[in-house]
Structure 1
């Protein structure tokens, strides 16, 4: 039960960290409860050699690669508590196990918080998405809707016009667009609807209509929505690391947090854009930093 490094989270950040640590012959405990945020998505994009891969297939290949290194162990359970100890960190799991690790990488990612709109979950991941870079190509040249009550709505419209010129922006009645921004959108043929969205309708996950609270509707075949994000796992009280205003863990460029021996990678550190390739890269860097710190400690002990 004693490891060089424990990793919480089996997404691209945690898996890539485990791969690097395993290849460095470090003893790794990888905790993953198999509930990935992109599990509802039909395919993942933007990762060279893996463009269009199903998330489940990505995980299958990743685990096949990671677990061929004998020093890596997969724990299919949730970490419920973490405490600092003389040797590093003590982790307690939902199955009652106690694991000791010299270093710890937090890579549990984020979870999405959606607006309460009827039918949204029926279409999310199939014809409604949140990232234009991930799914804009699949919706190219279609009549699209942007549903966002945040200040990113103007930026998202500017991005999406590169994939489709037929856009409708729905603000939910929030004052998120300035007068100048509204003028710019309208001058480019983008319609703005301030009436709140009441529901989405369609068939088999394919969007057909967006319904508003005043009884009107528009026909759209896809679109983008802006959920808010919160950390999947929060241990700041127990561990004392510093966070940003949105809950992201503050790290240096190699993933080191403000707590010695504690690292964060991927969406847990709000590595943006939130894509596989960025998360995997941050996991690799955090693992390299762990190996470097362990090597320094071991060198001094020789």
Structure 2
């Protein structure tokens, strides 16, 4: 079967795009590899009408919405291995099967590299977070920490003051804080801990402290950090044009990548990450895809 659109990725961007395309009566296949980026998080924060919903519940509800549209097929737990040009169309190779699509929308998000600290995997999504807008409210008024990955990121710790007066910057003995930043943090009474982190103290999946050289434990309830990120293999394999932060370059209005007919939406094309923002981008990209595709099909006498 020839697809109008293959949506690669089943997070908020892909789900929102598939909904728009289903309502536009385009033959759409949504491929979801089954390993969501927020799988370990207890909830999604800040999504209007869905605030604090569990990620699995969010996806289940979205799948039920999409099943109401006969032109949308869900391929759950199906990993797309490769995308190839096939004339004016695209060949999608996924879990041993082959599909052909007129357009492709990449909505794979980004892959977060684990923070290089002992015990971090067990705390990711419950006490170790990337986004305070998603998770800051639930740890408000507790002792918070920010781990700076590079000097330019150190001032970011001030943002945590929105949620707690007790915030601290950690450098893990690997980041030299710039003098102007030191002055600003001192004036704001934000301490800087520059010793090497040797462990994370926890009770179950709850962080209780950060252990630094000398076996000193500094009480903290949550640690925020900016992880190193990389594109999903299927995206990297396309050799698309990327910006200087390794996000996929897209057109401002049409979300088209450097390969004509392949579009991208969500976290893989912007540093501004969040479920609601990703869903909005997916919806906007789908509108553009449907418009261009419809014009083409009408011109070919197929609509």
Q: Is the TM-score greater than 0.5?
A: yes
Query: Structure 2: any 5+ residue segments left out of the alignment?
Result: none
For 2:172 and 2:137, how far apart are their aligned partners in 1?
26
**Larger mean Cα displacement after TM superposition, 153-162 or 200-209:** 153-162
TM-score of the pair, normalised by structure 1: 0.94
Pairwise mapping of residues 50-199 of structure 1 onto structure 2 (< 5 A)? 50-76=50-76, 77-94=78-95, 96-151=96-151, 153-199=153-199
Q: Are the equivalent residues in 2 in contact too, given 1:143–1:222 (CA < 8 A)? A: yes
TM-score of the pair, normalised by structure 2: 0.94
**Larger mean Cα displacement after TM superposition, 37-46 or 220-229:** 220-229
Deviation at 1:22, TM superposition (A): 0.4
Residue of structure 2 in register with 1:29 after alignment: 29
For 1:215 and 1:279, how far apart are their aligned partners in 2?
41
Q: Are the equivalent residues in 2 in contact too, given 1:149–1:176 (CA < 8 A)? A: no
Deviation at 1:149, TM superposition (A): 2.0
Q: Are the equivalent residues in 2 in contact too, given 1:91–1:98 (CA < 8 A)? A: yes
**Larger mean Cα displacement after TM superposition, 57-66 or 153-162:** 153-162
Runs of 4+, deviation exceeding 4 Å: none
- Give per-residue Cα distances to partners, 1:212-232, cap 9 Å, x unaligned: 133222111222122111112
For 1:240 and 1:158, how far apart are their aligned partners in 2?
37
1:250 and 2:268 aligned: no
Q: Are the equivalent residues in 2 in contact too, given 1:84–1:90 (CA < 8 A)? A: yes
For 2:36 and 2:6, how far apart are their aligned partners in 1?
18
Q: Are the equivalent residues in 2 in contact too, given 1:171–1:193 (CA < 8 A)? A: yes
For 2:152 and 2:18, how far apart are their aligned partners in 1?
34
SS in 2 for 1:69: coil
SS in 2 for 1:172: coil
RMSD: 1.5
1:218 and 2:244 aligned: no
Cα distance change of structure 1 residues 10 and 145 upon mapping to structure 2, 3 Å threshold: same
Q: Are the equivalent residues in 1 in contact too, given 2:18–2:72 (CA < 8 A)? A: yes
SS in 2 for 1:73: strand
1:233 and 2:233 aligned: yes
Q: Are the equivalent residues in 2 in contact too, given 1:169–1:190 (CA < 8 A)? A: yes
For 1:259 and 1:236, how far apart are their aligned partners in 2?
13
Deviation at 1:23, TM superposition (A): 0.4
Deviation at 1:143, TM superposition (A): 1.0
Query: Structure 1: any 5+ residue segments left out of the alignment?
Result: none
Deviation at 1:61, TM superposition (A): 0.5
1:39 and 2:65 aligned: no
Residue of structure 2 in register with 1:297 after alignment: 296
SS in 2 for 1:249: coil
For 1:14 and 1:263, how far apart are their aligned partners in 2?
11
